[in-house]
């Protein structure tokens, strides 16, 4: 596993793709930044990524079974929930397939992108952000984890472990373990608010 850290970058997903093209990263690489200037969301939308102690991470995956982006996103959402609950006292829920909520507010968004070399999985987790920094169009729905620097570091490690564990399961969809992970996703999922 190769973790590459940045304080600020345009987009961790775009950087992962650049490093892949240049041969500087391969499957198992993780790009982590505190701030993105051009974060990407689903459907071509921008993903507000202002910094603080936030964790914006992209994982380079090379599935053998070519699982659908939707299954990767669903299993990644469960991985994020596991990482948050392993390292904090927060309780999580999942809205849609790509938003993780704490106390009814979105603290995480997920974007999986199929590329020629495999999949780039982007996960953005708001950390140590005040409500006042969020733009008006998301101020009512966005939230943030509050973590000290040591817990943030532990969270990144837990997130990385959980993502790769869940992606290994996503790569083998016809197993009892995969079915159990899907059941967990369904148990955590809430109706759109």
Per-residue CA distances from 159 to 78, 107, 111, 120 (Å) = 10, 14, 15, 15
The architecture CATH gives domain 2-190: 2-Layer Sandwich (3.30)
* Chain segment 19-66, per-residue pLDDT in tens: 988 988 888 999 999 999 888 777 667 777 887 789 999 999 987 766
pLDDT of 174 reads: 81
Domain residue limits, the chain:
2-190
d(CA 168, CA 112): 15
What does pLDDT average to in each consecutive run of 10 residues of the chain (193 residues)?
A: 90 93 89 89 74 90 73 94 97 94 95 88 93 84 93 96 92 85 93 52
């Amino acid at each position: 596993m190769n973790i590459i850290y940045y304080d600020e970058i345009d987009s961790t997903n775009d950087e992962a793709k650049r490093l892949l093209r240049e041969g500087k990263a391969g499957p198992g690489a993780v790009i982590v930044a505190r701030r993105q200037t051009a974060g990407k969301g689903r459907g071509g939308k921008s993903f507000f990524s202002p910094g603080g102690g936030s964790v914006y991470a992209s994982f380079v995956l090379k599935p053998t079974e070519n699982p659908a982006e939707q299954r990767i996103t669903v299993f990644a959402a469960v991985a994020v929930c596991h990482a948050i609950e392993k390292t904090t006292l927060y309780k999580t829920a999942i809205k849609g397939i790509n938003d993780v909520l704490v106390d009814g507010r979105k603290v995480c968004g997920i974007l999986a992108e199929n590329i020629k070399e495999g999949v780039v999985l982007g996960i953005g987790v708001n950390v140590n952000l005040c409500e006042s920094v969020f733009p008006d169009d998301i101020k009512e729905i966005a939230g943030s984890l509050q973590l000290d620097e040591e817990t943030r570091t532990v969270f990144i490690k837990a997130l990385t472990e959980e993502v790769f564990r869940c992606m290994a399961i996503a790569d083998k969809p016809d197993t009892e373990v995969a079915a159990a992970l899907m059941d967990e996703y369904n148990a955590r999922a809430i109706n759109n608010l």
